[in-house]
Amino acid sequence: MDSFEFNKIAGSVLGMLLFVMALGIITDIPFARAKLAKPGYDLPGATEEHAAAAPAAAEAAVPFPTLLASADPKKGEALAKVCAACHSFEKGVEKPTGPNLTGVVGREMGSTGFAGYSDTMKGMGKKWAYDSLNTFLTNPKGFVAGTKMGYAGEKDPKKRADLVAYLRSISPDAPPLPN
């Protein structure tokens, strides 16, 4: 290899090194500008989530009796299609998967001829009222520990109010609506 050839190779190696160095400096520029005021990651999701949580919290602040007063039993009937997988909403018609729900508002808890009640439900010793139905349907396991009702609960308070309004419409002994 003559010295001219060697210079060509050395030159190109040097050129490459310079290019890589320059690239490093150039690509650093945007990051240098974006230096954060506080160390750590700036998560845009956090503020979005906060904004989305705000209306839900405002909704939960509406008391259940108020929601119930303007609830729609027809909407509740449509929502109760989910419940009808296990429950009968027809007087005298029994299902092996859940107690009949006609007349449930104002009825003693766990008191129909249904054979599959949990011991907890049978031992509640109270009548179903609007507030207890609301609590039970929000989180069945939270209200009746060890309940045999395989349903996770309805988290939307408006939908729960519609459901309870429907149950009221098929319960002749239902107490008057709370104020």
Contact residues for ligand HEC, defined by CB under 6 A = 80, 82-83, 85-87, 97-99, 101, 104, 109-110, 112, 116-118, 121, 128, 133, 137, 144, 147-151, 154, 163
DSSP per position, 129-161: -HHHHHHHHH-HHHHSTT----------HHHHH
First to last CA, the chain: 101
Residue 83 Cβ vs ligand HEC, minimum distance, rounded to whole Å: 3
Residue 144 or residue 161: which is nearer to ligand HEC going by CB?
144
Residue 94 Cβ vs ligand HEC, minimum distance, rounded to whole Å: 12
The per-type count for the chain, helices as H runs and strands as E runs, is 8, 0
Residue 175 Cβ vs ligand HEC, minimum distance, rounded to whole Å: 15
Residues in a beta bridge with 98: 95
Residue 154 or residue 165: which is nearer to ligand HEC going by CB?
154
Residue 64 Cβ vs ligand HEC, minimum distance, rounded to whole Å: 15
Residue 65 or residue 171: which is nearer to ligand HEC going by CB?
171
Nearest Cα to 140, choosing from 159, 156, 121?
121
Residue 97 or residue 169: which is nearer to ligand HEC going by CB?
97
Residue 39 Cβ vs ligand HEC, minimum distance, rounded to whole Å: 48
The rounded distance, in Å, linking the Cα atoms of 8 and 144 is: 85
DSSP 8-state assignment for residue 84: G
CB 99 within 8 A of CB 117: yes
Residue 67 or residue 101: which is nearer to ligand HEC going by CB?
101
